[in-house]
Structure formats: C-alpha cells, structure tokens
C-alpha cells in the first residue's frame, strides 16, 4: 500500500525526514527532573531530535533495532480499536463503532464474530475501545449512555464460545465527544490499569476526585489496588490529557503515551502519585511539581494511540502522524533519538501489541471516519523486530 508522504529538509543536517500527516488524529497532547534521566527528545522536522531518512523511508534502522512487515494477518476490519492476545496465540479485536468483538486466528487470520457488547453507545471518539484478557475473562473499556466504564465478560476461549453477559468492573469515568482515553491492560503485578481522558474539560485532569485525565490502577474486580498512592482511590497518576497507550518494559516499568493539544505529544515514564502537568504544562515544561515527558513530538508527527515494548524499545503507533515510532531505552532512560518507520504506508496507526519473540501486531485505523480507506482497510499486520 502506498500513501502520500511529504519530504522536508532537516535544519543543520544532511539527512531527510519523512513527514506524513494528511489525516487528523484523535483530538491531539510535568516537570520535576528525574535524576539520571536523559533529556526529552523533541522530534520535529526543524530540530536535532528528528528521525533519520533511512529509518523513516526504508525501514532500515540505526544500530539497535529495525522492523519489517512480515505479512497481513487479516483485513476488512471496521473501526478496530482494542487488541488482546488469547492463550494459544489467537487475537481479540474490538470495533469501536460496530460495538463488536471478533476473534482472529493467529495463524490463518480467519475471523469469528463473538457478537455485540450490550450497552455500548458509540459517538465521536467513544465506543467499544480497549480490551484485556485475564483469568477466563475478557475486559472491555466502553462508552455507555452516561459514562465510560470497564466491564468484564466470561469467555472460555474455544472457537464456538460466546461472550458472557458484561459485569461492571468500574463505572463513572467521565465521557465526552473527545478525549475518552480507552486503553486497558494487566500489569506484571496482576492489577488492571486504564488510561482515561479529560473529555475536553481540562480541569478534570488536576482533580484527583475525578477519574478523567488519569491512569487508574485497580484489582481485577475494580477495587483500589493495594499500594495505590491515594487512599481508597483507583487513581494512580493524574494531570493527563488523553492517555491511549500503556505498556511495561522488561523490568516492569510502566510507560504511557498521550495526546498533546497543539504543540507536543508525549511518552511518559509513569511513577505512582505523580502529576504529569495537563493543562498547566504540555510537553517539556521544566516546572516544579510536574513530571516532564521522556520524549515529545509535534502533534502532526504522532497523535499517539497504542504502545508496546519489544527488544529494548517502546513502539508507538501514530494516528495523525501515520507512522510507527521506535523509542530506544536503557533502563528508565531514553538511550537514543526516536526513529520513525512505515511512514505513510498504512495510514493512521491505532494499536500495537507485543506478541513475543520480537513480534508485533499492528492495527491501522482508516475506517474510523478520519482516514481515507483503501481496499483491505482496516487490517492487522504482523511485524518482525530485529
């Protein structure tokens, strides 16, 4: 698949960077220095943090990592959003607007509908979003009539199985036309984490009594997790605009990607109880009391959604940016400049999921009303990281 890309010259460098960015993203955006942490990268076409032309255009990376498309697992998906892997390697994918969950065979790509999830009310950036699988349950983050909420459904995992009736896990997450967050995942500690948005009401991000503009941490039943920073609260961190990417590195550190407003999208290292600045700060602010991002991008080059960790790097899917970013890490620090891959080749990129053994699953997002679908969209791609 080939899509339009624009070449721009880098200031003060002989390399070129591919800047895709025709489609708009999901409405795109601390500081407290972290001792021993590398300064944030500012990736732009006019700054020293830009990705190299070789990485962006051809998929050839600088030392330490490269990614290639090994094939298309399946195609013809409608508004795909959440992705979760079942024991055995098959995948579950949610349709934000169709309100359905589909099982995809991890080898053949054959699709089996598991049906519509009751109670989902799609609209704007809301609908049936993130998925997670845990102990015989399928968890889903969804927009209901009055709120965003997390539910869970029994699922045996067999080819002929259907989803059970949804049971509420956590309700009362603010909903809006925009900034609904939606990513959920179980951490290495067995707790359930969720990224939420402030729904365009910016003050919610700083209000610790609100579930909007937060990263939440809870037990599988939806109760505040042991060790949470605020008593009797599922709030883990606050000061976020719209978190749609969460992943853990090999040492169990939590990373999150979120949309900026007009200036900077962010990749953050998440520390319990910390304030990530929104709406007082966007991107690297250097202000006391806020945590600065580890890397930042102009909103035209990212508008980040899902992230995954593989082979020493965070991989970040860009919607408006229409590219896959690699952010190399060394422990809690960034070990090099971010690099862009697949620029403009598959349009808007929504979700990336680590599959083990250096494999990534990547979902594009051209059928969500903001893209320009081509034959086969939307699809799940099989990527190999080396």
Per-residue pLDDT tens over the stretch 109-132: 999 999 999 999 999 999 999 999
- Render pLDDT for 233-271 as a digit per residue (tens, 0 to 9): 999 999 999 999 999 999 999 999 999 999 999 999 999
pLDDT at 54: 30
Two tokens at 52? 């190299």
pLDDT at 11: 32
Classify strands 137-143 and 295-298 as parallel, antiparallel or unpaired: unpaired
- Render pLDDT for 131-190 as a digit per residue (tens, 0 to 9): 999 999 999 999 999 999 999 999 987 767 889 999 999 999 999 999 999 999 999 999
Each residue of 320-350: b (16+ CB within 10 Å) or e?
Answer: bbbbbbbbbbeebebebbbbbbbbbbbbbbb
Predicted confidence (pLDDT) at residue 63 exceeds the cutoff of 60: no
Nearest to 322 by CA among 345, 295, 296, 339: 345
The answer to which of 27-36, 100-109, 155-164 has the lowest mean pLDDT is 27-36
Regarding predicted confidence, which is higher, 114 or 54? 114
Two tokens at 183? 């990513």
H or E segment at 326?
Answer: strand 324-330
Predicted confidence (pLDDT) at residue 8 exceeds the cutoff of 80: no
């Amino acid at each position: 698949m080939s899509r339009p890309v624009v070449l721009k010259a880098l200031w003060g460098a002989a390399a070129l960077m591919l800047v895709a960015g025709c489609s708009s993203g999901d409405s795109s955006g601390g500081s407290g220095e972290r001792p021993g942490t590398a300064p944030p990268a500012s990736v732009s076409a006019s700054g020293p943090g830009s990705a190299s032309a070789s990485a962006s255009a051809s998929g050839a990376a600088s030392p330490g990592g490269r990614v290639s498309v090994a094939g298309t697992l399946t195609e013809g998906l409608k508004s795909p959003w959440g992705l979760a892997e079942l024991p055995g390697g098959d995948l579950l994918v949610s349709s934000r607007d169709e309100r359905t969950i589909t099982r995809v065979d991890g080898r053949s790509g054959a699709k089996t509908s598991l049906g519509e999830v009751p109670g989902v009310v799609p609209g704007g950036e809301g609908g049936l979003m993130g998925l997670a699988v845990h102990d015989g349950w399928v968890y889903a983050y969804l927009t209901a009539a009055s709120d965003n909420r997390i539910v869970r459904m029994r699922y045996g995992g067999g080819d002929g199985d259907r989803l059970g009736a949804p049971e509420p896990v956590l309700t009362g997450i603010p909903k809006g036309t925009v900034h609904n967050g939606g990513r959920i995942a179980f951490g290495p500690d067995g707790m359930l984490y969720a990224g939420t948005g402030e729904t365009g009401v910016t003050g919610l991000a700083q209000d610790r009594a609100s579930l909007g503009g937060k990263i939440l941490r809870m037990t599988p039943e939806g109760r505040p997790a042991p060790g949470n920073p605020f008593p009797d609260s599922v709030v883990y961190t606050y000061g976020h605009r719209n978190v749609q990417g969460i992943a853990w590195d090999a040492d169990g550190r939590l990373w999150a990607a979120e949309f900026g407003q007009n200036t900077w999208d962010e990749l953050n290292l998440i520390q319990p109880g910390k304030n990530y600045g929104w709406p007082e700060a966007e991107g690297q602010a250097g202000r006391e009391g806020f945590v600065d991002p580890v890397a930042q991008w102009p909103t035209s080059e990212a508008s980040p959604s899902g992230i995954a960790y593989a082979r020493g790097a965070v991989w970040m899917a860009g919607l408006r940016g229409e590219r896959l970013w690699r952010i190399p890490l060394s422990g809690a620090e960034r070990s090099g400049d971010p690099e862009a891959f697949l620029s403009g080749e598959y349009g808007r990129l929504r979700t990336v999921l680590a599959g083990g053994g250096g494999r990534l699953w990547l979902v594009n997002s051209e059928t969500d009303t903001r893209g320009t679908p081509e034959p086969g969209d939307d699809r799940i791609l099989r990527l190999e990281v080396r």
